[in-house]
Amino acid sequence: MPRAYISYRRADSAAYAGRLYDRLAGEFGSQSVFLDVSGIAPGEAFGSVIDDAIRTADIVIVIIGPRWLGAADASAARRLDHPDDFVRREVATALASGTYVIPVLVDGAVMPSGAELPSELAPLALRNALDLTGDWNRGTEHLPSCVASTRSRRRGRRRLRRR
């Protein structure tokens, strides 16, 4: 059973993350899909739970809305430029570990270029994105098969690294 992790910015794409969670949980079961609002119990150390969930994920789905790249903190500094930003941490951990990463564009968002991203996230710009802006159902109909196929790909990469 594949394990999927959904990364998103709450202020930008929480509704899309919830819909995607429902779609994947319906296909694979809720224990196979991690979404922070349902995957972290009150009192748990947020960062540790996220790190563990990404380490065990076969796939990380990065939902990118129109404000994902430019989301700012209270001082108007871009959040993605802070090393402790959770979205940055999620994506950087997934990319560094070789986890299969699918960027998912919603609400008219465009894929950021490598130059717009912190250097550790620049490889995200080279991933083929799934654009769900048009027809949600049509756009997500093949996503479960992508998620299901990642487990065998990840096992193959682990075997190659051990050799």
Both tokens of 67, joined, read 């404000």
Beta bridge partners of 101: 60
Look up the pTM and report it.
0.88
Range of the domain at 25: 4-162
The stretch 137-146 carries a mean pLDDT of 79
The stretch 92-117 carries a mean pLDDT of 95
What's at 63, amino acid-wise? Answer: I
Q: Who's near 15: CB < 8 A, 6+ residues apart?
A: none
Q: Who's near 38: CB < 8 A, 6+ residues apart?
A: 21, 30
Beta bridge partners of 114: none
Mind listing the pLDDT tens digit for each residue in 54-76? 989 999 999 999 999 999 999 99
Number of domains in the chain: 1
Number of Cβ within 10 Å of residue 151's Cβ equals: 15
We report the CATH number of the domain holding residue 123 as 3.40.50.10140
Residues for the chain: how many in total?
163
Mind listing the pLDDT tens digit for each residue in 114-132? 999 999 999 999 999 999 8
Q: Are 112 and 125 in contact (CB under 8 A)?
A: yes
